Chains A and B, each alone.
Chain A
Amino acid sequence: MGLLDSEAGKRRLLSVEIPAIEAYNDGRDPDYRIAVARVGGVLVLSYRLKPCQNVYRLETRLLSSFPIVPPETRILTPLKHCPHLLEGQTVCMWRQGSTRASSRWDPSQFTSVFAVLAAWRWLACYEVWHETGEWPLPEAK
């Protein structure tokens, strides 16, 4: 049951996700706003982030079972192989049962914009790792 094909999903989209994305975009440089496209039953958020020195292009996909399962975020800009990076440059941001609240996806507390902010945090860690070889955040447990 997805965001686009159920009443509950549409209500979530209209009352939670869309307002959160529009609030994120409000007053932001057009190059860094979130754009949303419908690809089949999936919503794809496309955006750029600049955590420190570099600009990265990203895609966050809200799958049919979102928000119950977390969104998937992929970095389109080529990266060096690094920790917490999965196949297809999908970033590892959520861990089931994590004791760190921000690493445990919670559909009752988080919106898709939280995933964008988590990606920003991940990229900031990547840039530190790129310079120092150390991932600055401890492993989620």
Chain B
Amino acid sequence: MNGNHASVSESTPDSRLQTHPMHVFQVGAGSGGIVVLDLVARDPRVTRVTLVEPDVYAPHNVHRHLFPASAVGGLKADLAAEWLRDRRPDLEVVAVVADLTDAARQEEFARLAAACDVGVCAVDNEPAKYAFDALMRAAGKPWTLGEVLSGGIGGWVHRFVPGGPCYGCVASHLQRTVTEEPTPPPPDYANPGGAVPETTIPAGRASISAVASLHAVATLELLPVRSLESGVRSPKSGTTIQNTITDSAPTPDSGPQTPDSTSILLALARVPGVFEEAFRTYRFRVAKSPGCLVCAAAPLPAGDLDVAVGEALDRLAPQ
């Protein structure tokens, strides 16, 4: 571990670190997402959290989640907000009970993305990952994504920055496959105690938490760090450590740090043919694909998009 980072993490909230309110926009508060949210929100730089999560807390969630069994039947978004407020009363928390792919709410989500400093994607379905990618690219904001591998043998943490590769570039590079299972019906909010179909990852809580913790660290690394003109005072030793941050972090106006790798693969178990050894990390620097059909800039007709779509479909209509 870098000693400079250790010094920062041992510090109590320092007024010089909080000169700019930090807004985290997260989607997903499942068993992994809630761990990321909990860890990220405890960082004193974070002053505001907006969470988008549509699901109901179900009995089968209990053994892998932070929430107690008594919370079953509640909305995960509301439970997560309550969890955070109990631990950070000063934190502004906004819970949005919604599906990120809901077409009717895209303008609202675009506003949330534009207002945040960093995004956190903790969903386990491809449409929502692509939807979050589109929102964050449009807003020009950095974001992170965590994924636990089946069986909890390991997981991925991806970091995206404006102008860098998109999720499509990364998924293509990693030969990511699509999910073709039929989409389950949306949760019935009028019957929060009812059966709710939900995608599950057959992984243990320890594996999920390990990947989610790495996801949280990667997210916090993307937050801009204030410069320290005269160093940080260590609360334990009472001594001043000179220039502990400025040597390794951006200055106040330099924006988010640019990660030195796009994707981190964490192996948690030895699986012949997959991971030769457990507890190893692999770092990948995935390049932005110039021909990517998801993020490469392509000319658009001038004017209203709906009009242009209508005209295009008219040109191609069956004769």
Residues on A close to B: CB < 8 A? 1-2, 4-8, 10-16, 18-19, 21-22, 25, 30, 34-38, 43, 46, 65, 67-70, 94, 96-97, 104-111
Contact = CB atoms under 8 A, between A and B. Distances in A.
Given A37-B317, A108-B294, A15 B168 contact: no
B9 interface: no
A19 B309 CA distance: 12
Interface of B: 101-103, 106, 110, 126-127, 130-131, 134, 138, 166, 168-169, 171-172, 175, 177-180, 183, 289, 291-295, 298-301, 305-306, 308-309, 312-313, 315-319
Contact of A10 (B289, B309, B316, B318): B309
Given A68-B126, A107-B168, A109-B172, 4 more contacts: A36-B316, A69-B126, A69-B179, A69-B180
B177 A96 contact: yes
Given A1-B101, A21-B316, A14 B309 contact: yes
22 contacts: A5-B103, A7-B110, A7-B305, A8-B131, A10-B309, A11-B305, A12-B293, A13-B309, A14-B300, A14-B301, A18-B316, A22-B315, A22-B316, A25-B316, A35-B316, A43-B313, A46-B318, A65-B127, A69-B126, A70-B180, A104-B177, A108-B292
Contacts of B300: 11, 14-15
A34 B131 CA distance: 28
A34 B292 CA distance: 24
B293 A30 contact: no
Q: Which of B295, B301, B305 has the most chain A CB atoms closer than 10 A to its own CB?
A: B305
A36 B318 CA distance: 6
Q: Which of A2, A12, A30, A107 has the most chain B CB atoms closer than 10 A to its own CB?
A: A107
A1 B178 contact: no
Given A7-B106, A105-B178, A13 B312 contact: yes
A96 to B, nearest CB: 4
A32 to B, nearest CB: 13
Q: Which of A19, A70, A104, A108 has the most chain B CB atoms closer than 10 A to its own CB?
A: A108
A38 B319 contact: no
Contact of A108 (B126, B172, B180): B172
A111 B293 contact: yes
B298 A16 contact: yes
A68 B177 CA distance: 10
Given A70-B180, A107-B294, A6 B312 contact: no
Contacts of A105: 177-178
Nearest to A19: B298
Contacts of B298: 15-16, 19
Contacts of B180: 69-70, 94, 96
A31 to B, nearest CB: 10
Q: Which of A30, A43, A67 has the most chain B CB atoms closer than 10 A to its own CB?
A: A67
A96 B316 contact: no
Contacts of B179: 69
A2 B103 contact: yes
Contacts of A43: 313
Given A14-B301, A107-B168, A38 B313 contact: yes
A34 B316 contact: yes
